[in-house]
Structure 1
């Protein structure tokens, strides 16, 4: 049961920052915190996978602050978050022989994180009358929340 909670929570991280979740899961697998040996998601353990996801996550952190970045709730961005949440959740689930459960929990978490994250950031931006600090706070939540999740697998 706890593994499905972790998969759901990493899905929430994907809802906040789409590429952060698979980057952190990949680092967890590469560092041996998450055993994916013998699973179809073993590629998460690869150094190349870690660095590609990490570069994508860094790019996303920058892109999120640009004025022309579209809403996370439009179909392409929303779908991407659900897919990366599901994939990250599936990897967490696969480490305990619950790939499908992890996939579903990660996808559901990504929906919650996408909608909840947008609402939270909108509220915070209005409250402080500035989107940049709200975005940076959301970045910190995604990074440190995700690290907390994967470090306790």
Structure 2
């Protein structure tokens, strides 16, 4: 896979982290577990272990549920924003490691997380406003976009 394509996919998995912080690392863990990406002998080989996949999947599902609660803080608060940067960078680095581009992919994952965080906030805010303030359906829609988008990136990684 070319460096440019790896960077594009790292950017996209970062966008997913901006939408839902733990969906991106969970998707990369599943990709490694299913041997869609080869992390053998790398710093990230532990990501494909069944225990890692289980923990990240549980956290990702819990995040999907908690995001629908009114008391959940905005993704633009410092802790939420930094978490998305960290998980986006991590997921990007894991993806890039399979092709020997961990550092540049880490950077692209962080950039994608910024784009996904800010863009996701703006899109959700505007859609909620357009639907008369109904946040739950828009939040669920965003969950679906994040999950389907994450899986799409993983599938692309596996076939390219």
TM-score category by the smaller chain? over 0.9
Is 2:126 the partner of 1:145? no
Determine the C-alpha separation between the residues in 2 that align with 1:65 and 1:12.
19
Determine the C-alpha separation between the residues in 1 that align with 2:67 and 2:5.
31
Is 2:22 the partner of 1:19? yes
**Mapping of 1:1-153 within 5 angstroms?**
1-129=4-132, 130-153=134-157
Determine the C-alpha separation between the residues in 2 that align with 1:136 and 1:152.
24
Deviation at 1:136, TM superposition (A): 0.6
Q: Name the TM-score, length of structure 1 as normaliser.
A: 0.99
* Runs of 4+ off more than 3 Å: none
Determine the C-alpha separation between the residues in 2 that align with 1:122 and 1:72.
12
Deviation at 1:43, TM superposition (A): 1.0
Unaligned runs of 5+ in 1: none
How many pairs align?
A: 153
Determine the C-alpha separation between the residues in 1 that align with 2:137 and 2:79.
25
Deviation at 1:38, TM superposition (A): 1.1
